[in-house]
Amino acid sequence: MSGTVRALRAEWTKLRSVRSTPLALFALLALLLLMTVASASGSSFDYGGPEAYDGVSFAHRTTGGDGTFTARVAAQRDSHAWAKAGLLLKDGTASGSSYAALMVTPGHGVRMMADGKSELTAGGGTEAPVWLRLRRDGKRVTGYTSADGRSWQRVGTLTVSGLPAAAEAGVFVTSPQRAVEKRTGPTQVTAHPVPTVGRAVFDHLGFPSTHGSWQQTDVIQPPEADAPPADAVAPSGTLHRTTAGIALTGSGDLGGLGMGGVGEGPGLDLVQQSLDDGTQLAALAVIALGVLCVTSEYKAGTVRTTFTVSPRRGRVLAAKAVVLGATVFAVGLVGSVGAFLIARPYQRENGFEPPLFDNPSLTEPGSIRAVVGSAAFLALIAVLSLGVGALLRRTVPAVVLMFVTVIVLPIVASTTSITLADVVGSATPVAGMAIQQTKQLIDDATTPWAGFAVLCLYVVVVLGVAHRRLTRRDA
């Protein structure tokens, strides 16, 4: 143990006494933070879509005023995680008119909304079959849910100022478009919207103070003035009577921006976006530091003295790797935290903000993994560079090899083909950058821990080969 401690102390003394060490560490911080500022300030997003959606298949009757409206959603097709089926009180059947709705979704439980401006969420992950109830008292509408129709849980109360006494009351179904993504290049992704058709079966219908027979109306969302024509149009909704109630089909969406899944999509990984460019550029500094950590001793001839004082060459190599890796990790962690904190204000100012985008916090598990993982990536690249330097024993060839592997090859791959980009992103040391991912996107070549494991494997193999060479050849 004393020999190991002496080796660590000796390597720490050598590392901090070399003039290039503070310069390389300063360059690490500067490149990481400056590139983060340039990348975050240069990106922008401008939403040009509608603020609210009101397009549903509506089975309705006219109500005379206040009352309690009940229905059980006996079954619901899982056409989309945000497909909706439930109760609807509405001022007529025109899109955009005032409404109150209580609904169940296949992937997000029970929701209550009013006019695309207010939303309440019921506790638990309820799915059909489920009982729903709306109790109207003037402009105030209260929602309830039940698993058996006897014990009811209150969802909440919303005020619907535009709801007239003679409103349309009924059940509705809606299912939004599904964005089918396709990679058109190494870094290009296009999304093709495909309509989906929802279906729900309703029974135990209780609609007091209503008159007239059930009617089915497609409430159609008006198209945007500058929207391109749709490639595929969803079929009209249908209403079929069953022995116990009705079956309803339909497409479209209901809700306001950021409510009921409106505007939600795969989007961007803002955490990764705040870290990746700066981390990759900072790798330039740690590559140089890692290589020089060993090749400078060969050039100056001091490596013979090192091995004379500490004959166990494997211990010397391990001590160099530990001291170098720990130093780069500590500085890289400071830089990664700073990069994350610097990037977020720029991202929000440039349009990457709720409700269309999430608002990641530094304390979230995914953010912690990405930030700490970025520092670990830089530390491992430094140790890998150390191993390459120990193998080649010459500064220029080792630095060039690492630069090509970590910097040049990813740039070439990103401008050539999807296949090459995926190979580079999953089977080279650059795969370790995947540790920054907090979302799985279509253009991600690998998963966070799998990519990080690839980098670790390279480090282990290179250090193992370097150790073998050190012990079998003279300095």
DSSP state at residue 210: E
Specify the 3-state DSSP secondary structure of 80. Answer: coil
pLDDT tens-digit profile, the chain (475 residues) = 577 787 788 778 878 877 788 999 999 999 999 999 998 888 887 777 778 889 999 999 888 788 999 999 999 999 999 999 999 999 999 999 999 999 999 989 999 999 989 999 987 667 889 999 999 999 999 999 998 999 999 999 999 988 998 899 999 999 998 888 788 788 787 878 888 999 999 999 998 876 778 899 999 988 765 555 555 566 788 999 888 889 999 999 999 888 888 877 656 889 999 999 999 999 999 999 999 988 887 776 666 666 656 657 777 888 889 999 999 999 999 999 999 999 999 988 888 887 778 889 999 999 999 999 999 999 999 999 999 998 998 999 999 999 999 999 999 998 888 999 999 999 999 999 999 999 888 888 899 999 999 999 999 999 999 888 887 765 4
Sign of the torsion angle spanned by Cα atoms 17, 18, 23, 24: negative
Which residues of the chain form CATH 2.60.120?
A: 52-256
Structure tokens that stand for 54 in this block: 């009101």
Give the Cβ contact number of residue 75 at 10 Å.
14
Structure tokens that stand for 356 in this block: 């269309």
Q: SS in 3 state form for 422-445?
A: HHHHHHCHHHHHHHHCCCCCCCCC
Question: Which pLDDT score, from 0 to 100, does residue 475 have?
Answer: 46
Specify the 3-state DSSP secondary structure of 64. Answer: coil
Instruction: Supply the CATH classification number for the domain 52-256.
Output: 2.60.120
- Number of residues in the chain: 475
Note if the pTM is more than 0.85.
no
Q: Give me the amino acid identity at 102.
A: L
The pairing of strands 52-63 and 168-174 is antiparallel
Specify the 3-state DSSP secondary structure of 74. Answer: strand
Question: Which pLDDT score, from 0 to 100, does residue 122 have?
Answer: 86
Q: How far apart are CA 366 and CA 372, in angstroms?
A: 10
Q: How far apart are CA 296 and CA 289, in angstroms?
A: 10
Give the Cβ contact number of residue 235 at 10 Å.
12
Cis amide leading into 129 (omega within 30): yes
